[in-house]
Amino acid sequence: MPNVFALPVFFICFRECLETSIIVSVLLAFLKQTLGPEDKNNNNASVHKRLVRQIWCGVGAGVAVCVIICVGVIASFYTAGRNAFEAAEHIWEGVFGILASLIITLMGAALLRVNKMQDKWRVKISKVLERRDAKLPIQGRLKRWSEKYAMFILPFVTVLREGIEAVLFIAGVGLGLPATSFPLAVLCGLGAGALVGYLIYKGGNRTSLQIFLVVSTGFLYLVAAGLFSKGVWNLEMHAWVQLAGEGAAEAGSGPGSYDIRKSVWHVNCCSPLDNGSGGWGIFNSLFGWQNSATYGSVISYNLYWLAVIVGFLFLGWKERKGGSGAQPSTEESDDTSSGHVEVAGKKTSDEGIMIGTAVREVK
């Protein structure tokens, strides 16, 4: 199964697609509110139709560009980069694994506050549109173009950004995975993300949605913990291969395939690298299972969870503290904080701030 379905890839696609679909849904809802199609008499209907088309064109164009970038990355990886990658395989896998794990960790909490994400985007969009009104008198050509196509640019940029993010994460997570494991995982991730986005748009059953989100966030963190531990494991493995040379590679999963001095457990079976031991591969991608655990991989796994636990408790505590305080100002300050980061053009650090300094989010 790990050969046909890469779980981390699924979760990344799901996560990115969900955010995109939330934005799109917010945009659609916004149009529906301001230029409701029920008012069939005036020309609003045609405007509405045009703007909706703009949105979908934006989404389409974003996806198209993403696909191109994705193809580029894959092509360059499998042509030029493959050798360089294989030479230091364990270092690449280790570093990308740890990076991906950290980023997933920082993004993950946002999934649990999807409604807040919705609010955030609603504020952001209305700001953009308000700005259009405010700046209407100025007749720059560029300005007018961007006014006219705001409904195209917004989803286009969003999709592009989320898409590139997804491509980079997948590249990081999936370095060691077989190419066959990607397509299904990507499709399912995108599908699930779109579905949840649609449910949010429809404002369906909030409770079951929340259950779904919590469960998938839980999985996301399991994956991230595994990635983190496996990243450390990979770095240690690199050091071992440097030391033991071919001997290590030759040994398969038996003695010599690992550094006995750092071993916490080693079972001569159940290796996620063995072909045909599918279950252990799932175990590996889901929970970072290794048939050969090291002090590094075990300790890093536990430290990761410790950090996550402390982080969430801190978030919860801050929310409770903030909740009893100045509630009305939420939207305002939230927007300024994330808007500020937005200007800097760093989406990831935006997400980072959501966890790290969720105070501002909620205040």
Partner 1 sequence: MALSLSNFLLPLALLLSSTARCATVTYDFDVGWTYANPDGQRTRPVMGINGQWPIPPIVATKGDQVIVNVKNSLGNESTSLHFHGLYMNGTSHMDGVIAVTQCGIPPGSSFTYNFTVDQPGTYWYHTHERGQYPDGLRGPLIIHDPEDPHQDLYDEEIVLTLSDWYHDLMHGLLASFMSVANPSGAEPVPQAALFNDTQDLAVRVEPGKTYLFRMVNMGAFAAQYVWFEEHTMRIVEVDGVYTEPMEADMIYLTAAQRCSVLVTAKNDTSANFAFVGSMDQDLFDAVPDGLNPNVTGWLVYDDSKEKPAPKLIDAFEPFDDFELVPYDQEELLDRVDHSITLDLKMDNLADGANYAFFNDITYVHPKVPTLYTVLSTGPNATNPIIYGENTNAFVLAQNQVIEIILNNDDPGKHPFHLHGHAFQVITRSPDDAGFYDPANTPEPPSTPMRRDTILVRPNGHTVLRFRSDNPGVWLFHCHIEWHVASGLVATIVESPLAVQAQLMDSIPSDHWDVCAAAGVPTQGNAAGNVGDLADLRGANVAPGRIPDGFTARGIVALVFSCISALVGLAVIGWYGFKPV
Contacts of 9 (CB under 8 A, 6+ apart): 170, 173, 174, 177, 181, 182, 185, 186, 189
84 near partner 1, rule: CB under 8 A: no
Cβ closest to partner 1, residue 260 vs residue 326 = 260
- Binding-site string for partner 1 from residue 52 to residue 71, where x marks contact by CB under 8 A and - marks none: --------------------
Interatomic CA distance for residues 68 and 58, integer angstroms: 15
Angstrom CA distances, 148 to 33, 75, 145, stand at 19, 36, 5
Interatomic CA distance for residues 164 and 187, integer angstroms: 16
Cβ closest to partner 1, residue 55 vs residue 362 = 362
247 near partner 1, rule: CB under 8 A: yes
Contacts of 141 (CB under 8 A, 6+ apart): none
214 near partner 1, rule: CB under 8 A: yes
C-alpha atoms less than 13 angstroms from C-alpha of 96 in its C-beta half-sphere: 19
Pick one of 60, 81, 91, 116: the residue that binds partner 1 (CB under 8 A).
116
Pick one of 71, 84, 243, 326: the residue that binds partner 1 (CB under 8 A).
243
Interatomic CA distance for residues 90 and 259, integer angstroms: 15
CB of 196 to partner 1, least distance (A): 14
H helix and E strand count, the chain: 15, 2
Cβ closest to partner 1, residue 25 vs residue 294 = 294
Cβ–Cβ < 8 Å for 236, 259: yes
Interatomic CA distance for residues 284 and 234, integer angstroms: 13
Interatomic CA distance for residues 99 and 227, integer angstroms: 9
Cβ closest to partner 1, residue 146 vs residue 333 = 333
222 near partner 1, rule: CB under 8 A: yes
Angstrom CA distances, 138 to 131, 144, 147, 150, 362, stand at 12, 9, 11, 16, 36
- Binding-site string for partner 1 from residue 261 to residue 300, where x marks contact by CB under 8 A and - marks none: x--xxxxx------------------x-----x----x--
Pick one of 124, 230, 301, 341: the residue that binds partner 1 (CB under 8 A).
301
326 near partner 1, rule: CB under 8 A: no
Cβ closest to partner 1, residue 43 vs residue 324 = 324
257 near partner 1, rule: CB under 8 A: yes
Pick one of 29, 45, 112, 209: the residue that binds partner 1 (CB under 8 A).
112
Cβ closest to partner 1, residue 147 vs residue 236 = 236
CB of 103 to partner 1, least distance (A): 17
Q: Is the dihedral of CA 208, 306, 352, 361 positive or negative?
A: positive
Cβ–Cβ < 8 Å for 63, 163: yes
Q: Which residues in this chain contact partner 1 in the complex, by CB under 8 A?
A: 109, 112-113, 115-116, 210, 213-214, 217-218, 221-222, 225, 243-248, 250-251, 255-257, 259-261, 264-268, 287, 293, 298, 301-302, 305-306, 308-309, 312-313, 315-316, 319, 323, 362
